[in-house]
Structure 1
Amino acid sequence: MTPGTTGGGPGHVTLRQILAHDDDGVLRLLLAPAGQDITVRGVIIGDEGSARPHDGRIVLAAGLAPGLPDAPAAVREAARRGAVAVVLRESEEAPVPAKALAAAEECGIALLARAEWADWGDAIALLRSATAFASVGRGDLMADSAADGGLAALATATARHCRGSITVEDTQFRVLAHSATGPDADGVRRSTILGGRVPDGRVAELRRSGLLRALWTSDDVIHRPADGDSPERLVVAVRSGGEMLGSLWAAADGQQLSSDAVEVLRRAGALAVPHLLRHRLRESGTVRREAHALRGLLHGNGDQRAHLWSLGLPPDSPCAVVVAVQDTPADGPGPERTLEALAVQVTASRSTARVLREQDRVTVLLPVNDAGDPREALVLAGELDALAAGIPDAAPVRVGAGRAVTSGPEASHSYESALLVVRALSDREARRRDPSPVRHAGPGDVGPTVDALRMLDAVRPVWESCTGPVHELIRTDLAAGGDLVRSLAAYLEAGGDIASAARRLVLHPNTLRYRLRRARERFGVDLDDPDTRLVLALAVRLTEVV
């Protein structure tokens, strides 16, 4: 079957239906020369074979280079092979070029742009969901109720037909819809509806009994007889193709289920497919859109107030950014386990915080009460440090609390500050070799190191553009292993105290004196000259700073 279509129906949908179904703005229509009532029969991702026809399909131009220089040619080729529409990815830096629009107009093919926050999977899921809605059709009371009123109306209509109580759940056992609850409803149903999800104890019991395994593997309605206070139940999995989307449960509620309850629930399961697909699309789209907005806010890209609106945060409230960065582990638990634990901790303990989980870090945008008070961000940094330290065999995590800023649009400054704090912690640990290093801090705790890092970042281009004896010493010695550079670093950090520097290097003082003499004799570096010492101090720090 063509990706993006579903079984059990015509497998096609109009462009108008797709756009009407797109509540989250995954796609933006740029032009439709043949109108919006053209039929879309599936989706093609990129160029799936040079000779394959595209008859009636949407082409997702996934393989085009950034900037879309090849977009006009791709549009013409898709039209030549019979496609009805092309979707191009678009960003603020690379809008759809005018030549691509002209090519679409000339060829009579619709052209759409994918939202910057979305990915190609979202576009496929949108088409799949819209096609499922179109495939269900109308014509009976349950189908008409579901089409007009969504899952809640479907639950009510199903309950009326099977004479039971209905709940619709997703694969995480969250209740998406339910029918009215009668006075004779059992305690499990009441607690499930009131809590918005199936209680953990109930889920564990269903696993032990084998019912969940049967549900996950069966294509038909499963019957569970009444047992004590638990009434008779029917359950059916909701699937699209082989993908599990959720389940429908029918429970006897003070009366026997109807004789055709199995058929009713089977039909309701089929009608629920497009609604659960839409639920999944909205949920994944919300997560991706919020991640895009938070990333834009932290990096200072795009419309900052629009990003805050997407995150549901007031634009004029003080905030601070906290960043937890994990070293790349040589062995032991990977970053996924540790960083996921940190992200869950923030979500559970700070309802107003927004969390961005990336490959080697967790970044938190934390609303605070006072832009001049660093304590809230520091408290969170300490909590994350303690949690990470308690995970056995995990690679080290360093947590930096950025300075608090007066409003959300300034969050990028706090993010920059938090990253510098993390760098400062790493730099201090590497140079001091502290057996009990500090792993979390704010700008006030590591201020001199942060200032030094800023200055080193600023001076690096100057250093890299110059030449001279110090440059030759650094380049040559690093190529040979760096013993002399390390010796010079220890000597300078010890303020010229040979005995102290030798102890740190675990060398005899005479060995260190010999190395310093080599620097003078071989490279012409005079350690008695204050300018030379300054350049050397910067040079050895620049070779260590990451």
Structure 2
Amino acid sequence: MTRDDKTLPQAPAETVGESEVITLRELLSALDTAVVELVDAPAGDDVVVASVALVDSMDLSAEIDSQSPLPNLLLHVGVGNAEAVRWFEHVAQRPHDARPRAVMSKTAADSRALQTAARRAGVALVAVHPRARWDHVFPLVQRMLDRSRRRQARLGDPDLLATDTDLFGLAQIVAQNSGGMVSIEDTQSHVLAYSASDEAADELRTLSILGREGPREYLRVLQKWGVFDRLRESDDVVDVPAHPKLGTKRRLVVSIREYSEGSPTPRLLGTIWVQQGDSPLTPDAAGVLRGASAIAARIISRALDAPSTEALLIQRLFGARGGGVDVPSVAGALNLPVSGPSAVVGFAPTATDATAPISEFAGLGSMLRLHASSFSRDSVSTIIGDRAYVLLPRNQSAKTVTAWVRQVIDQFETKRSVVLRAAIAIPVTDLGQVSGARIEVDRVLDGTAATFPEGRVTTLAESRTAVLLGEILDLVDAHPELHDPRLDALFEYDNKHASSLCESAESYLAHYGDVRAAAATLQVHPNTLRYRIRRVEEIVGVDLQDTSDRLLLELQLTLQRRKDRGKPGT
């Protein structure tokens, strides 16, 4: 154990058997009063929460006619008070073990009717801050439930690094030993975990916990002070002074970096921030942060490099990590139907979008899962490389899925400035075809990249011609013996004489030999184009009245145009 690791404390933690359960009280305490507030709990707040789901108005309508058990915790996203009240009235008629134990809503604190309906149904009602982002709250809840499912090693072990702690536990430990309020963030400044807040929390901390961006003026100040540069370049603990004008208090911050063999530079995984409250930070707060940084690096890298069992199962379902799954077992584990029309959607950043590197795209996985879960509760999603994939089960129509995909792409571009393309495989008749559908989706994304932005969203059926033609060109390009050497003379002639015989031939072929139409496109006289076509035939040695010669020339010219488009500066 290193010197910095010894600065962290040793505190007991209760376990139940091999796993620690989480109650509603513990969950709300972890989420903090800045995000949630318990309005009412008819059965008490010590009920166990083991499952969570997002629901919208369409989900509520579907659940009214269903008697299957509901998840323990439901997040009402965009659900109006009137429809929520009607839903609670139906829930009250269900058997107790088929009811949810709690519901989170942004309107819970202001609606007496909603509170009354929830109490009659025996369901706890939790108010979510109106400014909290659902795509922030949902992953936090999932993280807390995942934490409860894992065995919690006792923090009293001599070596803290040997324990299976998590980021929420680490944040609490750091807060206790630094005397401040802690938040752990990823590389995109999204909060991963945090300690409890008190009255001394400033607006910046509150906004961060709610999933909102801090004041831009403060971010500019941090940039001016060189805070971000120091975090990227070193393991130093940076002391960020208070800024009374902006209402921010003093903070200490350290980067979370992973060092690996063979890599000249460490991988930046995030940051740990400690806000000072009404009392000064402890004298060894900087040492606590350095030790916490080492532990956080292990926790985060382990999560990145070793996905959960469910995540691995989903990736194998999509054909990654060796593929090959037992369909009935996967259906049972993920609660998916074995058969029935489904859809597989693939999302990819555009080649022209320099603002969306792979690392940033991967960080948007939780937002995509949020959208997918809201559209279809049974959906599963994953990120493989620089692409994201979503399975939408149960009788999805091509029209409905396409409309949803377009909406998702628009929201990513508007809210996150990430420009995406998408391909849809539908229908996928059973789970055993998901991996094959993903391969087809990849073929479409590979084959339609050049048609962006016309092809923002496409299906396999719509893009079959472009995909097959692109793959034929790839095949020809990969085999030099399939290149027609006669075209070299034509390219050399154009380069030497600054002429446009290639362009003229392409226009002539595109207009099926209609000289007048091709000449109008090129804005030249028809006789000029006739002369150019004769020169092309002479130089290349082809007869453009012959269908085989026309097909070969068009294929070779298309291949050359694609190569030219990929050259720098073209």
Taking structure 2 as the reference length, the TM-score comes to 0.46
- Higher RCO, 1 vs 2 (CA within 8 Å, ≥6 residues apart): 2
Indicate the structure (1 or 2) with the bigger Cα radius of gyration: 1
Taking structure 1 as the reference length, the TM-score comes to 0.48
